[in-house]
Amino acid sequence: MTGHPEDEKIRFFTGTYQLFPAELLAARPVVELDLGCGAGSFTAELARRYPERTVLAADVMVGRLRKLVKRCDRLKLGNLEVCRTEARHLVALMLPDGALDRLHLLCPDPWPKGRHRSHRLLASDFTAQLHRVLKQDGVFHFSSDDEYYCDAVRRVIAASNLFAECPEAIADLTDIRSDFELRWNAEGKPVHHVAYRRIPAPPHTVGH
């Protein structure tokens, strides 16, 4: 026992190569993932709005996840699974192909200093993994208060040839805010949202 009763409702993934439980992904026909969910303002409202969907909430910070568990208990949400895991491992190693209908990556750390940009989640290899874990026509939803980061994400996504911009794919979410978006809005900072729909990967060109 950790002394925190909320921990009983958090799935702790400690192994780098631990596969995500298939029964969670099969429980309902639609599965959404909030990657880096924080304390879960966005996640909880998404789950409340769509009780017929499975909503996965993943973060590495246990304190934030405990707050989300308390919120789930207050709202009596039975379709939200709270997971403690590292974002890269979850997408690249743990989730099977075609697992998700929508993946939300909202207000991640922009790592604005040049020497830190390798820490950014959105790079070409991660984009390929996003494509892998999304279902056909699945949606990737990204937001940031850093306009330069948004532009960088647009360039990476465009260069991948794996997604088509599709703002209408998140039209049902325009009134839901993540914890960080609420914070930035309170400080007068706008938050930029982009959405992309998965398209088939282009065929590889074989040289002669």
CB-count exposure of residue 164 (10 Å: 0-12, 13-18, 19+): middle
Sign of the CA dihedral 83, 89, 91, 97? negative
Q: Is 109 annotated as a binding residue?
A: yes
Query: Which one of 109, 125, 146, 179 is the catalytic residue?
Result: 109
Q: Is 86 annotated as a binding residue?
A: yes
Sign of the CA dihedral 59, 60, 65, 67? negative
Q: Is 113 annotated as a binding residue?
A: yes
Q: What tokens does 50 get?
A: 């769509």
At how many degrees (to 10) do helices 124-133 and 147-160 cross? 70
Residues near 64 by beta carbon (within 8 Å), at least 6 away in sequence: 37, 38, 39, 40
Q: Is 73 annotated as a binding residue?
A: no
Is residue 109 among the annotated active site residues?
Answer: yes
Residue 128's H or E segment, with its range, is helix 124-133
Q: Is 172 annotated as a binding residue?
A: no
Residue where the block lists tokens 């959405």: 195
CA distance 177 to 191: 10
**C-alpha dihedral, 42 to 47 to 171 to 189, nearest 10°:** 0
What residue numbers does the annotated binding site cover? 34, 59, 86, 109, 113, 145
Residue numbers annotated as active site: 109
What residue numbers does the annotated binding site for substrate cover? 113, 145
What residue numbers does the annotated binding site for S-adenosyl-L-methionine cover? 34, 59, 86, 109
